[in-house]
Amino acid sequence: MQQLSNLCKAPLFPAEAIRLSNGLTLIHQYLPATPVVAVDVWVKAGANAEPQDWHGMAHFLEHMIFKGSEEVRPGEFDWIIETSGGGTNAATSHDYAHFFITTAAEYLPQTLPYFADILLHAAIPDEEFGREMDVVIEEIHGCYDDPDWLGFQALCETIYGQSPYGRSILGTAEQVRQRSPNQMRCFHRTHYQPENMTVVVVGGMEREGVMALVSEAFCHFAVRSECPPVMADPKPQLREITRTELRLPRLEQARLMLAWTGPGVDLMDVGIGLDMLSVILAGGRSSRLVRDLREEQQQVWDIGCEFSLQKTASLLTINAWLEADALPVVEAALQNHLTQLQREPITSTELNRVQRLLCNDYAFSTETPAQLAGLYGYYNTIAQAELAVTYPTRIQQMTPEILQQIAQDYLTPDCYAVTVMRSL
């Protein structure tokens, strides 16, 4: 396959990445036209960092961070952000956890020290731990009421096998009940250390002010701990079509979910190609699967395709909502479409459409300080921040022949994971 990484002349990175003396990475971009500042803190402490049998710990800790520190009482941080007109939230994935605030630039000197303190010195009090455990378990129970979540989780377990990517980020209710505050403090003090963290600040504050605030707020970290070893991350070894079937009560529409793994971010051009192929297959009304199976044949109620770029093993999925008696016909049709992708290069019209669509989506997703902060932090956590701005250029350099080769290498019609869901 032609390697695009050597051909891609990346645009200039508009932000500045700074490595502080303690190992923390600061990424800053000054936007003089906005009075708002977004601060997004990314930590290499997702579900993939959990020791064996500590499943659900990373997500549970995300909740507990907001319970405060020795200096910040439970609920105090939320009150400070809200009274300054700002907002805050967090998310956990397999590769990371991240926490973000958006506030007026004039309030950042007042809010950032509190934000840093709960991140670096989370107290994880015993009584709050017990209360929040109930909240986390209720969230898990809520997911089990969602058939699409159940199907996707079964699909991941099949395609990823024993890899951490195959297990739920939430863990199970039983696993969460087995956690203790001391275990969580150990996990926090092991991973919430400067070399694992990226602080992204984007908005209406200049470099000198940001440097001074971040250097002071993210200066004193908790005493380092050491968790038990993490389970090895074996590569998926799927060699045939592997099926899982779920029977659920009161399921009005059957589901057909297929998945293929791709390389991690170290082969980003392949990931870009798979992202483009997902749009060609089922991205919009004029895509191949939507046009054929939904509009013309009317064999599905709806169908979609998504690609998720991950650090070591990415994922492409096709999801169809349909009547149960159409399951075998639709799966055979999907196999035929994949075979066609392998045998024939896409047309120039399709290539132009997907390039235009994805480049426009990228432009729309980089309009606000919060969007930019999230983009830089995500890429710096799984690779390097500078890769974030190469996405449109890499898309424009793709050719039908390169996409055909990627389809041949990764989207095989006779080797994938499939989950079928139908009513009892």
Number of domains forming the structure of the chain = 2
Do 72 and 213 fall within a single domain? yes
> Would you state the pLDDT for residue 230?
85
Return mean pLDDT, the chain.
95
Between CA 202 and CA 194 the distance in angstroms is 20
pTM: 0.94
* pLDDT reading at 233 higher than 80: no
Do 201 and 307 fall within a single domain? no
* pLDDT reading at 164 higher than 60: yes
Between CA 385 and CA 388 the distance in angstroms is 6
Do 145 and 265 fall within a single domain? no
Between CA 288 and CA 347 the distance in angstroms is 12
Tokens of 148: 């699409």
Between CA 35 and CA 308 the distance in angstroms is 33
Between CA 254 and CA 289 the distance in angstroms is 17
Interval 343-356: pLDDT, tens? 999 999 999 999 99
Residue 81 lies in a domain: yes
Tokens of 170: 């939430």
Tokens of 268: 């980003």
Do 134 and 254 fall within a single domain? no
Please work out, in degrees rounded to the nearest 5, the angle formed at the alpha carbon of residue 264 by the alpha carbons of 4 and 161: 145
Amino acid at 11: P
Q: Alpha carbon 171 to chain centroid distance?
A: 17
Interval 367-394: pLDDT, tens? 999 999 999 999 999 999 999 999 999 9
Between CA 386 and CA 9 the distance in angstroms is 12
Answer with the one of 183, 217, 251 that is the final residue of a domain. 217
Sign, CA torsion 338/344/350/355: positive
Between CA 116 and CA 53 the distance in angstroms is 29
Interval 84-130: pLDDT, tens? 999 999 999 999 999 999 999 999 999 999 999 999 999 999 999 99
> Would you state the pLDDT for residue 235?
66
Nearest in space to 315 (alpha carbons), one of 200, 158, 203 = 158
Do 327 and 200 fall within a single domain? no
Instruction: Say how many residues make up the chain.
Output: 424
- 16 touches 389 (CB < 8 A): no
Do 81 and 204 fall within a single domain? yes
**Mean pLDDT comparison of 3-12, 156-165, 270-279, highest-scoring range:** 270-279
Sign, CA torsion 179/180/183/185: positive
Residue 403 lies in a domain: yes
Structure letter (DSSP) for residue 311: S
Q: Which H/E stretch holds residue 349?
A: helix 348-364
Answer with the one of 202, 217, 232 that is the final residue of a domain. 217
Residue 229 lies in a domain: no
Do 185 and 328 fall within a single domain? no
Between CA 389 and CA 379 the distance in angstroms is 10
Do 303 and 417 fall within a single domain? yes
Residue 347 lies in a domain: yes
- 282 touches 303 (CB < 8 A): yes
| Strand boundaries in 80-218, DSSP class E | 87-92, 97-104, 197-203
Residue 255 lies in a domain: yes
Percentage of the chain exceeding pLDDT 70: 96
Residue 31 lies in a domain: yes
Between CA 73 and CA 87 the distance in angstroms is 18
Do 309 and 203 fall within a single domain? no
Between CA 347 and CA 81 the distance in angstroms is 51
Do 265 and 208 fall within a single domain? no
pLDDT band at residue 3 under the 50/70/90 scheme: very low
Sign, CA torsion 24/217/371/312: positive
pLDDT band at residue 7 under the 50/70/90 scheme: very low
Strand partners, 99: 41, 90
Residue 7 lies in a domain: no
Do 268 and 201 fall within a single domain? no
Between CA 80 and CA 103 the distance in angstroms is 11
Q: Any idea of the CA torsion for 417, 146, 177, 60, to the nearest 10 degrees?
A: 90
> Would you state the pLDDT for residue 1?
45
> Would you state the pLDDT for residue 11?
78
Q: Which CATH number does the domain housing residue 76 bear?
A: 3.30.830.10
Between CA 283 and CA 414 the distance in angstroms is 23
Q: Any idea of the CA torsion for 225, 228, 229, 233, to the nearest 10 degrees?
A: -110
Residue 365 lies in a domain: yes
Q: Alpha carbon 405 to chain centroid distance?
A: 26
Reduce the DSSP state of residue 279 to 3 states and report it.
Answer: helix
* pLDDT reading at 231 higher than 80: no
Do 273 and 330 fall within a single domain? yes
Q: Which domain holds residue 67?
A: 16-217
* pLDDT reading at 267 higher than 80: yes
